[in-house]
Every structure is written in structure tokens, then in C-alpha cells.
Chain A
Amino acid sequence: MKKYKEIFLNDILILFFLIIFFIILYIVLTSNNYILIFSILFIAALLVYFVLKNKKYKRFFLNLFKNYQKTVYIFGLILLIIFPLFLRNNAYIIHLLIIVSIQIILALGLNIQVGSTGIPNLGFVGFFGIGAYASALLAERLGVSFWICLIFGGIIASILGLILALPTAKLKSYYLALITIAFSYIMYNLFLNLKFFDGPDGVRGIPPPFLFKWSFYNNLNLFGLKYPMQINFYYLILFFLIIFIIISFLLYNSRIGLIWNAIREDEIASKSVGINVVYYKILAFCIGAFYAGIAGSLYAHYIGYISAQNFTFTISLAILSMVILGGLDNISGVILAAFLLTILPEKFRILSNYRVIAFSIIIIIMLIFRPTGLIPQKNRIYSFIKSIITKEEVNDE
């Protein structure tokens, strides 16, 4: 009986923390008071810092979330689903959350290439663009259903990733960087100039997704309350976001993730151990591109209009900065960074003139002082020595 009571108490505690988190999120998103937002974020950061410093609290929280992982995920998921229901009058916030989710998917995709495998891909936006255009053109010109266009967009992006990867997988880092830059410029030029992509006018009137004849552009009626149509897209994109996060974690914890990290750390050593470096690099390209393609398709069908201007080199840099800020190969860090780097510029629009300067300087500082990113990441635990390490960890403290 006591055991159940303890579990129950801990469940409530977790729920409590998650609710506090979402309340903070709500305030940060809806308030227009810069001082309030800044002070809340500052207090939150301070609290986190102090908790982490103090070993006892740190262990308490880590244990809590480790042992009750399932509870965290389930409650978190429920809250994510309920959250927009409180934003009935705030279509803009839901819109922001949608954009954030798309950026997170993009950042996760780039993280696979840059973070896990160490490929300096500065032209990620090319995959984003081709996924968007492929999906948009298929839907707008041939009237194909959204769900097929979505998969089509992802596959086309992967194929492009394959085409780019095949000849370049063997190259050294700065050559690769240059090729990817050239690649993104070429894609931008093609989107801009070719009549096939509707040239500089862009593709207009991209049809929204349909679910059995019900258009996603319709407002949603739930429990007698009217919800703006953005909420449909929110759930759609949330669904894919969760799938991609799960895939990212699975990949990280699998043999593939391990091999990618090996390639990143020392390519020659990996080759000498028998790893087929070229194959895994190509795999990283294709999977990362798939993320971007799906994100592109979701983006196109949500906004309803795309043009070459949405896919410039600057966007590659923006996504790259999310991956760097989050810490290379640090999935939770990347998610947090993508969230912050999308929301903060929106909230602090007053500083928009200095936004890019602030970004660049933050990136440089992060790279110098904390290349592991915002959220500290545990080192990998290799299963067969797991028990030894955890015992040592406990003894140290």
C-alpha cells in the first residue's frame, strides 16, 4: 500500500511540474510585456542552474524523471494536446507553435547530419525547399491528396540527399561545406528562375489537407466552442513532430547513432575498424533530408504559398544556429534551442534590427565556451559496462 502511495505522490509531483512548465509557456507566449518575459526566463534559468549545482536536488530530479519516464511522457503528451484549447482567441500563438514545430523538425534533421555525423551541411534549406515544392506542385497541379504529397515530398528530398551525398561523401570538411553552400544556391536559383517552379512568383493556392472531405482550413468546433483553423494544423504537425523526436532518439540509441558518432570523432579510425563510412554518411544525408522534406511539405500546405524567397541561404544558417546552440548531437538541447530561437525573436520584435547580430554573437560564444550546448548531455553508456559505471557514479557522490 505504501508503495502505491509513493508512486501516486510522485505522479502528482510530475504532473505539478509539467503544469507549471506549461503555465510559464503560456505566459511567455501571450504576454507582450518584455520585462515580464525576460524576468520569468531569467528566474527559470537561475532555478535550473541552482538545482543542477546542488547534487542532492540534481539527483532527486534526475531520478524522478528517470524512474517515471513513462509518466512524464504520458502527462506531457496530454498537456501538449490540451494546451492549444486554452488559446482559443490566440490564433497567432498557435501559429507560432506550428512554426516552432516545423523548425524543430528541421533542426532535428540537420542535427543528424551536422551533430551526429559531423557533416558540415550549410545548404540544408535546399532539402526543405524541394520537399515543399514537390509536395505543393503535386497537390496544386495534379490535385493529388495531401497525404500522398507529404510522403512524396519527403521521398523526393531523400532522393536529392542521395544525389548530393553520392559524390561528396568522401570529401573533407571544408570542401563539403562549400559544396553544400553551392548546392543551396543552385536550388535557390532553380526555384527562382525555372518556369517549372512557377518562377519568382511562387506557388499560390496550395490546397490544404483533407480528412475525408473535411478541409483543414475549416474552423474546429469542439464542445460547442469555436477554434481557429490553426489548431488543426497544430495537431497534425504535433503528430509528426512526436514521431520525428521518437525516431531521433531511437537512432541515437541504436548502433547507427553510435557509428555516426564514431565517424564524427575520427573518420580514419572508423574506417580502420571496418565501418563503411561512405554508406553511413549517405544514410545520414538521406534521413536528414527526409526530415526536411516532410517539414517542407507541412509548411507549404499550412501557409498555402511558397516562393524561392522562403528558401534562402540565410535560413540554412538559422537552422544551423539552432543545432549549435542546442549542442551538436544533443536532441533535447536542439529542441529547446529551436524553440527559443523561434519564439524569442517574435517576442522581442522591438530588437529585430539587432536580432541577427545577437544570434551570431551568441553562436560564437556558445562555440567557444560551451560547444556541448544548452542542456548538458550525459556521455553514452555502453551497455555491457553500464553496471560498473553507475556503481562508480554513485560512489563518487
Chain B
Amino acid sequence: MDFIIRLFISFLMLSCMYTLVAIGFTMYVGVINLANFSHGDTCVIGAFVLMLLYGFLSYFGITHSGTFIYILTIIIFTIILTGLWGVLIFKAVINPLLNSPRLIVLLATVATGQAIREIIRVTYPEGSNPQVFPKIFPDGGIFIKNFLIRWENIIIFFLTIIILIIINLFINKTKIGLSMRCVSQNYEVSQMMGINVNKTIMMVFIIGSALAGLAGIMNGAYYRITKFDIGSNLGIKGFSAAVIGGLGNTYGAIIGGLIISFVEIFISGLIKGGSQFQDLFSFIVVLIFLIIKPSGILGEKTYEKV
């Protein structure tokens, strides 16, 4: 019984990890029709920025006192900085390519992701090595019938749900969200209606990158480790989760995350000798979904306009 509960908790955690990344992907595809392959690496930027901030502050003697306010402030700072990074990416790479065929932009984001990875590896001291991530979550947890549910599990789980709800509210209830929905439906008409399309797209990048930063922090904090190249794996799994769940629908992100992590945990935990094939099976599942139902589980079938 213990075993099943433990498996279930790790299943939920992994889903949350993938979901946090998938939400960003969904936004990019939903609003600008762009598959941003540098999203995963932006998550890694978030993790590294946090480590830099920690190092920076402790250099000046402001050490980690473990208080909630301290941690929260640093996290918020990191998210803001990562959001600013999103602006940089937008201005440097995306803006010039707004009118190019989608293939070109896609390739540009792939190259951007690779550049991010290598720049981190080269500039961060001992960048090729794995880095210890500072402790964010408190030890201990809640005991339920002799079984320990750690604080990190609880925090990550609820954080993911809150983020999902916030993003949905943002898109559906705010003015900026409204302009995003307009741009996603019809680019030209939105411009004609007076919406500043450039600014809207830039907002998407800011929010997407901020989300990525948060995802990277959570990932680093949970595993207590981060490395310059985990972005590509996270990105691909996150994108797969977004696709399976249905691009353009934020709740699809969590469904996709659940499915992919279910396959991985199931294969590793319950099938003998399966653990080395878990990546293989999750990709096969992605492949099957893409072939059978490419619009995803919650995706709406869109009609291509001529």
C-alpha cells in the first residue's frame, strides 16, 4: 500500500513538472501559432538566475535565513528577470521574423534554445557540471496515517493548480487576455481593430518566459539539482504534454502532463526491466497520440482558413 501511495505521489509531482512547462507551450501555440523550442531552455535560465541571485546576495553577507519572505522575494525577482529575458528574445529573434514562414521561426527558436544551453555551459563557473540548487522547501510534512507527505509535494501540487487557474482567468477575464485571444483568432483583423499586436505578442513572451522561470525554479528546487542541458528534455516532454492535452487549451496542459508522467512512472515502477525504456515508451505514446488525434484531447478542431 505504501508503495502505491509513493508511486502516486511521484506521479503527481512529475505531472506538475511537465504541466508547468506545457502551459507556456500552449500559450505560444495558441496565441501566435508558434512552437517555441527555446521554452525548455528558458526554464533552465530561471533556475540559474535564482542560483546567481542566491550567490550574489550571500556574497554581500545576506545569507539564506530560511524565512519565507526571503525565499519568496528571490523567487519573484527571478520570475521578473526571466520575464525580461522573454522581452529580449522577442525583440532579438521573434520580432524580425513575425512575417516569415512559420518554419523559419521554428528553426530560429531551436537555434536560440541551443545558444542558451551553450552560453550557460560556457559562462557559468563549472557550467558543464551539475549544480546544487539552493534549498527552498522546508523539510518535513504532514503525516497521514503513518505516511509522510512532504511540504514540497503539497506546495508544488497546489502551485501548479493555482497557476493554471490564474492563467485561465488572465486570458479570459483581462483586457490583455482579450487581445491575446483576438490575435490568436485573426491576426489581421486584430490589427484593424486597433489592438497593438506587437505589444500583445511581447506580453505573451513575457508571461511565457516568466512561467518558464517558475517551472525551472520548481524543477531545481524539487530535485535539488540543475544542469545546463536539462532544458532540451524538459522542453520536449513539456511540448509533448501540451500537444497531447490539446494546444490552445490551458487545461489540456495538465491532462497532457498527467498522461506522459503516467506512462513513465507506470513503465518504470510496475513493469519489470522497464525503467530503461521509459523514455522510449513515452515518446511512442506521443507518436500514437499525434497520429490518431493530433488536435489533442481537449483541443478544438480548427479549420484552416484559406
Please tell me whether chains A and B touch each other in their complex, using a CB distance cut-off of 8 A.
yes
CA distance A193 to B275 in the complex (A): 11
**Structural contact, A178 and B243, CB atoms closer than 8 A:** yes
Q: Which of B111, B117, B283 contacts A185 (CB 8 A)?
A: B283
**Structural contact, B108 and A364, CB atoms closer than 8 A:** yes
- CB interface residues, B 132-188, toward A, < 8 Å: none
Q: Which residue of B lies closest to A354 (CB)?
A: B122
**Structural contact, B239 and A178, CB atoms closer than 8 A:** yes
Q: Which of A168, A175, A181, A367 contacts B107 (CB 8 A)?
A: A367
- Listed stretches A54-62, A334-342, A355-363; interface member: A355-363
Q: Which residue of B lies closest to A181 (CB)?
A: B236
Measured between beta carbons, the chain B residues less than 8 angstroms from A193 are 276-277, 280
> Per DSSP, are chain B's interface residues mostly helix, strand or loop, or mixed?
helix
Measured between beta carbons, the chain A residues less than 8 angstroms from B35 are 173-174, 177-178
CA distance A122 to B107 in the complex (A): 9
Measured between beta carbons, the chain A residues less than 8 angstroms from B232 are 313
Q: Taking the nearest CB of chain B, how far is it from the CB of A140, in angstroms? A: 24
Q: Taking the nearest CB of chain B, how far is it from the CB of A38, in angstroms? A: 21
A321 close to chain B: CB less than 8 A:
yes
B2 close to chain A: CB less than 8 A:
no
A286 close to chain B: CB less than 8 A:
no
With A178-B239, A193-B276 as contacts: A364 and B118 at CB distance below 8 Å: no
- CB interface residues, A 327-358, toward B, < 8 Å: 328, 353-354, 356-357
- CB interface residues, A 95-130, toward B, < 8 Å: 114, 118, 120, 122
**Structural contact, B103 and A173, CB atoms closer than 8 A:** yes
- Digitize B189-202: 1 where CB-to-A-CB distance is under 8 Å, 0 elsewhere: 00000000000000
Interface size class on chain B is 35 or more
Q: Which residue of B lies closest to A189 (CB)?
A: B280
Measured between beta carbons, the chain B residues less than 8 angstroms from A173 are 35, 102-103, 106
**Structural contact, B240 and A182, CB atoms closer than 8 A:** yes
**Structural contact, A360 and B118, CB atoms closer than 8 A:** yes
**Structural contact, A179 and B290, CB atoms closer than 8 A:** yes
Measured between beta carbons, the chain A residues less than 8 angstroms from B52 are none
Q: Which residue of B lies closest to A368 (CB)?
A: B96
- Digitize B86-107: 1 where CB-to-A-CB distance is under 8 Å, 0 elsewhere: 0000001100110011111011
**Structural contact, B280 and A186, CB atoms closer than 8 A:** yes
CA distance A114 to B102 in the complex (A): 12
**Structural contact, B106 and A368, CB atoms closer than 8 A:** no
CA distance A353 to B122 in the complex (A): 7
User: Can you sample 15 A-B contacts with CB below 8 Å?
Assistant: A114-B103, A173-B35, A173-B103, A178-B240, A181-B236, A182-B240, A182-B283, A182-B286, A268-B306, A356-B117, A359-B114, A360-B111, A361-B115, A367-B111, A371-B100
